[in-house]
Amino acid sequence: MNSFRASGCALPPLPARTASASTSFERRSTASPARAVEPNCGFSVRGLSVEDLVDLVAQRVALESIALRQCIEHSSPDWQASVLAAHHRLRKTPLTLDDEAKSLNPLWVSRHDDFHRVMLEACGSPRLFQMVRQLADAAEMYHRALLPACGRDEAMEREHEALLDAILAEDADGAVDILKAHLERTRDVMVPLLNEATDSQAH
């Protein structure tokens, strides 16, 4: 796969939302106040930071790799069919709304989360799956604030497709490698945008 960069991305203003808390993210955030960015994402959180994002993705890679490998080891036609259906719904949904701000499509957020949830829910360990979901909830905060600026919808679609193919082929090593690259490449396009937002709010 080609590498992806954040150059040329237009950065939208990071929002400041006032809804009730996502406690799993509150526990996950380790950002220092000087580096925090308060997003307009509908949750009350300490903030978004590069340090937390890097840590968050590292833990997602570690735990989701274990979960995905266990899912493929216990693969069933029903699970594969569920993953296929979730991917089909996601592929048919645009990342952003066709409005002036190119805002993130709430339906895409829901279907993207559903694809990753269905992909990992057959891991056989309720505790592992619970930890995976807590980290995914935290990651969604970054996705809501930063993905509309990344222009990465085509790249993510290719990665999701490759991930599905590896799952259907029951290729655990290949699927884990693709998942790791997918999470890390998405992180790599968000980090410069988050740095830019943090710098602009510091001045």
CA–CA distances in Å: residue 41 to residues 13, 115, 140, 188: 11, 21, 9, 21
**Total-model pTM:** 0.75
Structure token pair of residue 114: 């559903």
Distance CA 53, CA 169 (A): 31
Question: What pLDDT, in 10s, does the model give residues 12-33?
Answer: 444 433 333 333 333 333 333 3
Please provide the average confidence, as pLDDT, over all residues in the chain. 79
Q: Exposure of 32 by Cβ count < 10 A (0-12 exposed, 13-18 middle, 19+ buried)?
A: exposed
Confidence of residue 2 (pLDDT cuts 50, 70, 90): very low
User: Given a cut of 80, is residue 77 above it in pLDDT?
Assistant: yes
Residue 104: the pLDDT is 84
